[in-house]
Amino acid sequence: MVLEFEKPLVELEQKVEEMRKMADTLDISTEVNKLEAKINELRKNIFDNLTPWQIVQLARHPERPYTLDYIYLMTENFVELHGDRNYGDDKAVVGGFATIGDYSVMIIGQQKGRIRNRSLQKFRNDES
């Protein structure tokens, strides 16, 4: 999913990919480098001048990585803990033990669901 303000970037990145494919037969490295510089400049300009609504769109982007994505990328042997022995498991909080390099660590983070409108879905399921 590409946000409206990201479309110019995506279009330029696609052009660079097309040009790289043609680079096997033609020497267009100078043009590719110029286009990549333009992409970097455009990216900086776009993200330095985001409106409050665009920031919200980025924060809520469905493909944005979540806490567990980061945990699994940066740790080894992550063991997630569940429940509090009295009430139950809070799906919005994730925590557990892991190894980062030579260190044993405890990690706690906020985890939102991947299904949009999960709270509405839960409410509807509870009604029946």
Q: What does the pLDDT look like over 106-128, one tens digit per residue?
A: 999 988 766 655 555 554 444 43
**Residue 54 vs residues 8, 41, 64, 84, 109: alpha-carbon distances, Å:** 15, 19, 14, 37, 24
Q: What does the pLDDT look like over 46-86, one tens digit per residue?
A: 999 999 999 999 888 888 888 999 999 999 899 999 877 77
Dihedral, CA atoms, 46, 48, 54, 59, nearest 10 degrees? Answer: 120
pTM: 0.58
